[in-house]
Amino acid sequence: MEEPIIRVENLSHRYSIQWAIRDISFEITGNGIYGLLGSNGAGKSTTMNIICGVLKQTQGDVWIKGINLRENPVEAKKHLGFLPQKPPLHSDLTVEEYLIHCANMRLMPGKEIPGAVRDVMVRCGISHFAKRLIRNLSGGYQQRLGIAQAIIHNPDFVVLDEPTNGLDPNQIVEIRHLIKEIAEERTIILSTHILSEVQATCDYIRMIEEGQLVFAGTVDDFDNYIVPDTLVVSLINTPAAEELKAIEGVLGVEELGGKNYRVRFDDATGVTERIVETSVAKGWRLSGIQVEKNSMDSIFAVLSKK
């Protein structure tokens, strides 16, 4: 059986007398982008900092590529890249100087460093700024440089904390594209509180609330966590709302305007068939009917209160 890229087992951490996280366990076995979600104070940052070796846990263990992070941190971190929310940049260095410095800190062999620096600058689109002081880079290019330092040693696993924070819309699109390219070759955990960021970028979700893991699955699993209970129905010859409400299984009807209705139901399949049959019988001329998905915000709210 293939060794997981990361394995977290019974992870717990306590600040003074209060537990921030309790008995969190999960595995990540393949490449892709994993969104790490959680409300403020839920334990998301604590979990991320322990996984990155920034914080020593009270209980439990983390393995990166089969190496125990607590017992052998240097070897484990060779497989790990980390971009904090505020990139750890040195403004008085040039882009090239900084990346050489980062490669040395990662204990890369000296003969490999020049090639690694060139490759990562090309990958992150910053080669033309190699000799520019970091303080003179725009926010978007500083973020690209932050990602470059996280992957210069070609890690298997990368953690990005709020990687699009403070960027303009065009820069956000560019950084998302770069993250997706990087994820083709490695595993990424993207920590964010912005649900639209998860929807646009991630393949999988891990959600922590009140110090415990409350969800682990794909983005589609998350979208369908709450069983939908409404339909949007479009009718050319619009009936009175009471006529729709009279159909068996319909619990409520809301007029949305423009010949559209929101229908709340108790049995999707049966109600759909009965609406179609009634529309044909009464000449309502049905032009569209579809189950209405719950928003990520509403699902997040439900999981937060679980």
Residue type, 158: V
Its CATH class, for the domain covering 6-223, is alpha beta
Lowest mean pLDDT among 36-40, 134-138, 225-229: 225-229
Distance CA 40, CA 121 (A): 34
Q: For the chain, give the percent of residues with pLDDT over 90.
A: 58
Could you tell me which of 55, 54, 4 has the C-alpha nearest to residue 25?
A: 4
pLDDT band at 269 (very low <50, low <70, confident <90, very high): low
Domain boundaries, the chain: 6-223, 230-293
Helix axes 95-105, 113-123, angle to 10 degrees: 120
Averaged over 40-51, what is the pLDDT? 89
**Residues whose CB is less than 8 angstroms from the CB of residue 70 and which lie 6 or more positions away in sequence, other chains included:** 56, 57, 61, 62
Residue 108 confidence (pLDDT): 93
Q: Which residues pair with 301 in a beta bridge?
A: none
Q: Is the model's pLDDT at 298 over the cut of 80?
A: no
**Residues whose CB is less than 8 angstroms from the CB of residue 256 and which lie 6 or more positions away in sequence, other chains included:** 232, 262
Residue 263 confidence (pLDDT): 86
Query: What pTM was estimated for this model as a whole?
Result: 0.78
Q: Is the model's pLDDT at 293 over the cut of 80?
A: no
| Averaged pLDDT of the chain | 90
Span 230-293: which CATH code?
3.30.70
Tell me the pLDDT tens digit for each residue of 142-171.
Answer: 999 999 999 999 999 999 988 888 888 888
3-state secondary structure labels for all residues of 151-182: HCCCCCEEEEECCCCCCCHHHHHHHHHHHHHH
